[in-house]
Copies of this chain bind each other. A is one copy, B any other.
Amino acid sequence: MNRVAFIGLGNMGAPMAANLLKAGYALRVFDLNASAVAAAVAAGAVAATSAIDAVADAQIVISMLPASRHVEGLYLGDDGLLAHIPDGVLVIDCSTIAPASAKKVAAAAAQRGLAMIDAPVSGGTAGASAGTLTFIVGGDASVLERARPVLAAMGKNIFHVGDSGAGQVAKLCNNMALGVIMAVTGEALALGSAHGLDPAVLSRMMAVSTGRSWATEVCNPWPGVLENAPSSRGYSGGFGNDLMLKDLGLAAEAAMQVGAPIPLGELARNLYAINSQAGNGGLDFSSVLKVMTKAV
Protein backbone atom coordinates (compact mmCIF):
# COMPACT_ATOMS: atom_id res chain seq x y z
CA MET A 1 0.00 0.00 0.00
CA ASN A 2 2.64 2.48 -1.04
CA ARG A 3 1.37 3.96 -4.30
CA VAL A 4 -0.94 6.93 -3.85
CA ALA A 5 -2.86 8.97 -6.42
CA PHE A 6 -3.30 12.44 -4.94
CA ILE A 7 -5.88 14.72 -6.59
CA GLY A 8 -6.01 18.38 -5.52
CA LEU A 9 -2.89 20.29 -4.48
CA GLY A 10 -4.44 23.46 -3.02
CA ASN A 11 -3.59 25.19 0.26
CA MET A 12 -4.46 22.04 2.16
CA GLY A 13 -3.66 19.30 -0.38
CA ALA A 14 -0.13 20.49 -1.15
CA PRO A 15 1.29 20.19 2.38
CA MET A 16 -0.61 16.93 2.94
CA ALA A 17 0.98 15.47 -0.18
CA ALA A 18 4.37 16.74 0.98
CA ASN A 19 4.01 14.88 4.26
CA LEU A 20 3.15 11.66 2.42
CA LEU A 21 6.29 12.03 0.31
CA LYS A 22 8.36 12.55 3.45
CA ALA A 23 6.84 9.40 4.90
CA GLY A 24 8.02 7.41 1.90
CA TYR A 25 4.85 7.10 -0.15
CA ALA A 26 5.13 7.12 -3.96
CA LEU A 27 2.78 9.80 -5.28
CA ARG A 28 1.24 10.44 -8.68
CA VAL A 29 -0.37 13.85 -8.39
CA PHE A 30 -2.90 15.82 -10.39
CA ASP A 31 -4.09 19.41 -10.20
CA LEU A 32 -5.19 21.97 -12.78
CA ASN A 33 -2.65 24.39 -11.31
CA ALA A 34 0.68 23.61 -13.02
CA SER A 35 2.86 25.36 -10.46
CA ALA A 36 1.28 23.36 -7.64
CA VAL A 37 2.09 20.19 -9.57
CA ALA A 38 5.64 21.40 -10.22
CA ALA A 39 6.19 22.03 -6.52
CA ALA A 40 5.03 18.50 -5.70
CA VAL A 41 7.25 17.06 -8.42
CA ALA A 42 10.20 18.98 -6.97
CA ALA A 43 9.44 17.26 -3.68
CA GLY A 44 9.49 13.81 -5.28
CA ALA A 45 6.04 13.24 -6.78
CA VAL A 46 5.31 12.11 -10.32
CA ALA A 47 3.03 14.37 -12.37
CA ALA A 48 0.00 12.68 -13.89
CA THR A 49 -1.51 14.04 -17.09
CA SER A 50 -5.03 13.66 -15.76
CA ALA A 51 -6.92 12.36 -12.78
CA ILE A 52 -7.54 9.14 -14.69
CA ASP A 53 -3.84 8.86 -15.44
CA ALA A 54 -3.07 9.45 -11.75
CA VAL A 55 -5.11 6.46 -10.56
CA ALA A 56 -3.97 3.97 -13.20
CA ASP A 57 -1.42 2.25 -11.01
CA ALA A 58 -2.60 3.40 -7.55
CA GLN A 59 -3.30 1.40 -4.41
CA ILE A 60 -4.81 4.40 -2.64
CA VAL A 61 -6.66 7.42 -4.09
CA ILE A 62 -6.80 10.59 -2.01
CA SER A 63 -8.78 13.66 -3.09
CA MET A 64 -8.77 17.12 -1.50
CA LEU A 65 -11.08 19.46 -3.42
CA PRO A 66 -12.92 22.73 -2.73
CA ALA A 67 -16.60 21.80 -2.87
CA SER A 68 -19.31 19.19 -3.45
CA ARG A 69 -19.57 19.88 -7.16
CA HIS A 70 -15.85 19.23 -7.69
CA VAL A 71 -15.98 15.95 -5.80
CA GLU A 72 -19.11 14.78 -7.60
CA GLY A 73 -17.61 15.96 -10.89
CA LEU A 74 -14.39 14.03 -10.23
CA TYR A 75 -15.83 10.69 -9.24
CA LEU A 76 -19.28 10.39 -10.84
CA GLY A 77 -20.66 10.14 -14.36
CA ASP A 78 -19.62 8.10 -17.37
CA ASP A 79 -16.27 9.90 -17.48
CA GLY A 80 -15.89 9.83 -13.71
CA LEU A 81 -12.94 8.43 -11.82
CA LEU A 82 -14.95 5.61 -10.25
CA ALA A 83 -15.16 4.08 -13.71
CA HIS A 84 -11.38 4.05 -13.95
CA ILE A 85 -10.07 3.19 -10.49
CA PRO A 86 -8.71 -0.37 -10.48
CA ASP A 87 -10.41 -3.00 -8.32
CA GLY A 88 -9.26 -3.24 -4.73
CA VAL A 89 -8.06 0.34 -4.49
CA LEU A 90 -8.88 2.30 -1.32
CA VAL A 91 -10.56 5.69 -1.91
CA ILE A 92 -10.27 8.52 0.63
CA ASP A 93 -11.96 11.87 0.10
CA CYS A 94 -10.59 14.53 2.46
CA SER A 95 -12.66 17.43 1.04
CA THR A 96 -15.22 19.24 3.18
CA ILE A 97 -18.49 18.82 1.29
CA ALA A 98 -22.21 18.36 1.83
CA PRO A 99 -23.01 15.13 3.70
CA ALA A 100 -25.52 14.30 0.96
CA SER A 101 -22.77 14.54 -1.68
CA ALA A 102 -20.45 12.36 0.37
CA LYS A 103 -23.14 9.71 0.71
CA LYS A 104 -23.91 9.85 -2.99
CA VAL A 105 -20.29 9.34 -4.03
CA ALA A 106 -19.75 6.62 -1.42
CA ALA A 107 -22.84 4.79 -2.66
CA ALA A 108 -21.55 4.95 -6.22
CA ALA A 109 -18.17 3.65 -5.06
CA ALA A 110 -19.86 0.79 -3.22
CA GLN A 111 -21.79 -0.10 -6.35
CA ARG A 112 -18.44 -0.29 -8.17
CA GLY A 113 -17.18 -2.52 -5.34
CA LEU A 114 -14.67 0.07 -4.15
CA ALA A 115 -14.03 0.78 -0.47
CA MET A 116 -14.36 4.49 0.30
CA ILE A 117 -14.36 6.75 3.35
CA ASP A 118 -15.06 10.45 3.81
CA ALA A 119 -12.26 11.92 5.88
CA PRO A 120 -12.53 15.71 6.12
CA VAL A 121 -9.89 17.37 8.27
CA SER A 122 -9.60 19.89 11.08
CA GLY A 123 -6.46 21.88 11.80
CA GLY A 124 -6.08 24.28 8.90
CA THR A 125 -3.03 24.87 6.74
CA ALA A 126 -0.79 24.98 9.81
CA GLY A 127 -1.94 21.51 10.82
CA ALA A 128 -1.59 20.28 7.25
CA SER A 129 2.04 21.47 7.12
CA ALA A 130 2.92 20.15 10.55
CA GLY A 131 1.24 16.80 9.89
CA THR A 132 -0.99 17.31 12.92
CA LEU A 133 -4.39 17.28 11.22
CA THR A 134 -7.42 15.65 12.78
CA PHE A 135 -9.25 13.29 10.42
CA ILE A 136 -12.98 12.94 10.97
CA VAL A 137 -13.97 9.73 9.28
CA GLY A 138 -17.25 8.33 8.02
CA GLY A 139 -17.49 4.83 6.53
CA ASP A 140 -16.84 1.21 7.50
CA ALA A 141 -14.53 0.69 10.45
CA SER A 142 -12.62 -1.97 8.50
CA VAL A 143 -11.96 0.45 5.66
CA LEU A 144 -10.72 3.04 8.12
CA GLU A 145 -8.27 0.44 9.49
CA ARG A 146 -6.80 0.01 6.02
CA ALA A 147 -6.55 3.79 5.68
CA ARG A 148 -5.11 4.43 9.12
CA PRO A 149 -1.37 4.27 8.16
CA VAL A 150 -1.66 6.76 5.31
CA LEU A 151 -3.84 9.10 7.40
CA ALA A 152 -1.35 8.85 10.26
CA ALA A 153 1.35 10.13 7.89
CA MET A 154 -0.65 13.35 7.51
CA GLY A 155 -2.29 13.81 10.89
CA LYS A 156 -2.29 13.22 14.61
CA ASN A 157 -5.86 12.33 15.52
CA ILE A 158 -8.28 10.05 13.73
CA PHE A 159 -11.94 9.91 14.75
CA HIS A 160 -14.37 7.36 13.41
CA VAL A 161 -17.76 9.01 13.80
CA GLY A 162 -20.13 6.79 11.82
CA ASP A 163 -21.15 5.58 8.37
CA SER A 164 -20.53 7.26 5.03
CA GLY A 165 -21.24 10.99 5.24
CA ALA A 166 -20.88 11.06 9.02
CA GLY A 167 -17.38 12.49 8.71
CA GLN A 168 -18.82 15.44 6.85
CA VAL A 169 -21.64 15.92 9.35
CA ALA A 170 -19.22 15.89 12.28
CA LYS A 171 -16.84 18.28 10.54
CA LEU A 172 -19.69 20.71 9.91
CA CYS A 173 -20.88 20.44 13.53
CA ASN A 174 -17.36 21.25 14.75
CA ASN A 175 -16.88 24.12 12.33
CA MET A 176 -20.30 25.56 13.06
CA ALA A 177 -19.38 25.65 16.75
CA LEU A 178 -16.02 27.18 15.84
CA GLY A 179 -17.57 29.87 13.65
CA VAL A 180 -19.96 30.89 16.40
CA ILE A 181 -17.29 30.74 19.11
CA MET A 182 -14.92 32.95 17.13
CA ALA A 183 -17.61 35.55 16.49
CA VAL A 184 -18.83 35.69 20.09
CA THR A 185 -15.25 35.93 21.31
CA GLY A 186 -14.98 38.95 19.06
CA GLU A 187 -18.18 40.36 20.53
CA ALA A 188 -16.83 39.86 24.05
CA LEU A 189 -13.46 41.51 23.35
CA ALA A 190 -15.08 44.45 21.56
CA LEU A 191 -17.53 44.91 24.43
CA GLY A 192 -14.75 44.80 27.01
CA SER A 193 -12.59 47.16 24.98
CA ALA A 194 -15.45 49.66 24.61
CA HIS A 195 -15.66 49.64 28.43
CA GLY A 196 -11.97 50.45 28.71
CA LEU A 197 -10.59 46.96 29.34
CA ASP A 198 -7.40 45.77 27.70
CA PRO A 199 -8.36 42.98 25.26
CA ALA A 200 -5.11 41.17 26.06
CA VAL A 201 -5.86 41.08 29.78
CA LEU A 202 -9.47 40.12 29.15
CA SER A 203 -8.32 37.36 26.78
CA ARG A 204 -5.89 35.93 29.32
CA MET A 205 -8.65 35.78 31.90
CA MET A 206 -11.13 34.17 29.52
CA ALA A 207 -8.52 31.67 28.29
CA VAL A 208 -8.46 30.01 31.72
CA SER A 209 -12.15 30.49 32.50
CA THR A 210 -15.41 28.95 31.32
CA GLY A 211 -15.42 31.18 28.22
CA ARG A 212 -12.19 29.63 26.96
CA SER A 213 -11.89 28.17 23.47
CA TRP A 214 -9.55 27.73 20.51
CA ALA A 215 -10.32 31.40 19.82
CA THR A 216 -8.85 32.56 23.14
CA GLU A 217 -6.06 29.98 23.29
CA VAL A 218 -4.75 29.77 19.72
CA CYS A 219 -6.38 32.18 17.29
CA ASN A 220 -7.33 35.30 19.24
CA PRO A 221 -9.20 37.70 16.95
CA TRP A 222 -7.80 40.88 18.55
CA PRO A 223 -4.54 42.02 16.94
CA GLY A 224 -1.49 41.77 19.15
CA VAL A 225 -2.92 39.49 21.82
CA LEU A 226 -1.36 36.31 20.43
CA GLU A 227 1.75 36.87 18.38
CA ASN A 228 1.20 33.91 16.05
CA ALA A 229 -2.48 34.46 15.38
CA PRO A 230 -3.57 35.71 11.93
CA SER A 231 -5.05 38.83 13.59
CA SER A 232 -1.51 39.87 14.54
CA ARG A 233 -0.41 39.84 10.91
CA GLY A 234 -3.28 41.71 9.33
CA TYR A 235 -5.63 38.70 9.41
CA SER A 236 -3.60 36.98 6.71
CA GLY A 237 -2.75 33.35 6.26
CA GLY A 238 -5.28 31.44 8.32
CA PHE A 239 -8.68 29.97 7.55
CA GLY A 240 -10.44 32.41 5.23
CA ASN A 241 -13.67 34.20 6.11
CA ASP A 242 -15.28 32.85 2.93
CA LEU A 243 -14.24 29.28 3.76
CA MET A 244 -16.00 29.60 7.11
CA LEU A 245 -18.95 31.11 5.25
CA LYS A 246 -18.99 28.03 2.99
CA ASP A 247 -18.89 25.62 5.94
CA LEU A 248 -21.68 27.44 7.75
CA GLY A 249 -23.71 27.29 4.54
CA LEU A 250 -23.20 23.52 4.41
CA ALA A 251 -24.24 23.32 8.06
CA ALA A 252 -27.40 25.29 7.29
CA GLU A 253 -28.24 22.94 4.43
CA ALA A 254 -27.63 19.94 6.65
CA ALA A 255 -29.89 21.48 9.29
CA MET A 256 -32.69 22.13 6.79
CA GLN A 257 -32.49 18.53 5.63
CA VAL A 258 -33.42 17.20 9.08
CA GLY A 259 -35.42 20.14 10.48
CA ALA A 260 -32.86 20.93 13.17
CA PRO A 261 -32.87 24.50 14.51
CA ILE A 262 -29.41 26.13 14.48
CA PRO A 263 -30.24 29.78 15.26
CA LEU A 264 -26.74 30.74 16.41
CA GLY A 265 -25.09 28.86 13.55
CA GLU A 266 -27.18 30.66 10.96
CA LEU A 267 -26.79 34.05 12.60
CA ALA A 268 -23.02 33.55 12.58
CA ARG A 269 -23.26 32.58 8.89
CA ASN A 270 -24.80 35.99 8.27
CA LEU A 271 -22.12 37.80 10.26
CA TYR A 272 -19.46 36.20 8.05
CA ALA A 273 -21.56 37.14 5.01
CA ILE A 274 -21.70 40.74 6.24
CA ASN A 275 -17.93 40.68 6.75
CA SER A 276 -17.52 39.33 3.23
CA GLN A 277 -19.76 42.08 1.81
CA ALA A 278 -17.48 44.58 3.56
CA GLY A 279 -14.59 43.27 1.46
CA ASN A 280 -12.96 40.99 4.04
CA GLY A 281 -13.83 37.64 2.49
CA GLY A 282 -10.18 36.77 1.84
CA LEU A 283 -8.98 37.58 5.35
CA ASP A 284 -8.79 35.06 8.18
CA PHE A 285 -12.25 34.33 9.58
CA SER A 286 -11.31 35.96 12.89
CA SER A 287 -11.65 39.26 11.01
CA VAL A 288 -15.40 38.91 11.67
CA LEU A 289 -14.46 41.05 14.67
CA LYS A 290 -14.46 43.97 12.23
CA VAL A 291 -18.26 43.71 12.07
CA MET A 292 -18.40 44.47 15.82
CA THR A 293 -15.92 47.32 16.17
CA LYS A 294 -14.02 49.91 14.19
CA ALA A 295 -11.06 49.55 16.59
CA VAL A 296 -9.42 46.77 14.55
User: Hey, which bits of chain A sit against chain B, CB under 8 A?
Assistant: 99, 122-123, 134, 136, 157, 159-163, 165-166, 169-170, 172-178, 180-181, 183-185, 187-192, 194-198, 201-202, 204-206, 208-214, 218, 245, 249, 251-271, 273-274, 276-278, 291-294
Most chain B beta-carbon neighbours within 10 Å: one of A123, A160, A201, A260: A260
Q: A184-B181, A197-B162, A214-B212 are in contact. Are A202 and B170 (CB under 8 A)?
A: yes
Question: Quick one: closest B residue to A272, CB to CB?
Answer: B261
Copies, count: 4
Smallest Cβ-Cβ distance to A202: which chain B residue: B170
A184 and B293 within 8 A (CB): no
A270 to B176, CA, bound (A): 15
A261 nearest CB across to chain B (Å): 4
Interchain CB contact (< 8 A) of A196 among B166, B252, B276, B294? B166
Residue of B nearest to A173 (CB): B188
Q: Chain A interface mostly helix, strand, loop or mixed?
A: helix
Provide a sorted-by-A list of 5 A–B residue pairs whose CB atoms are within 8 angstroms: A173-B197, A176-B188, A187-B265, A261-B274, A277-B293
> Judging by beta carbons under 8 Å apart, are B161 and A177 in contact?
no
CB-based nearest B residue for A239:
B210
Q: Cβ of A194 and Cβ of B259 under 8 Å apart?
A: yes
Q: Which residues on B sit within 8 Å (CB–CB) of A136?
A: 205, 209
Q: Contacting A267 at CB < 8 Å: which of B165, B198, B263, B274?
A: B263
In the complex where A161-B197, A266-B269, A274-B291 touch, is A205 in contact with B260 (Cβ < 8 A)?
Answer: no
Nearest B residue to A273, CB-CB: B261
Asked if B259 and A273 make an inter-chain contact with CB atoms under 8 angstroms apart, the answer reads yes
| Smallest CB-CB A-B distances: 3 pairs | A177-B211, A174-B211, A263-B270
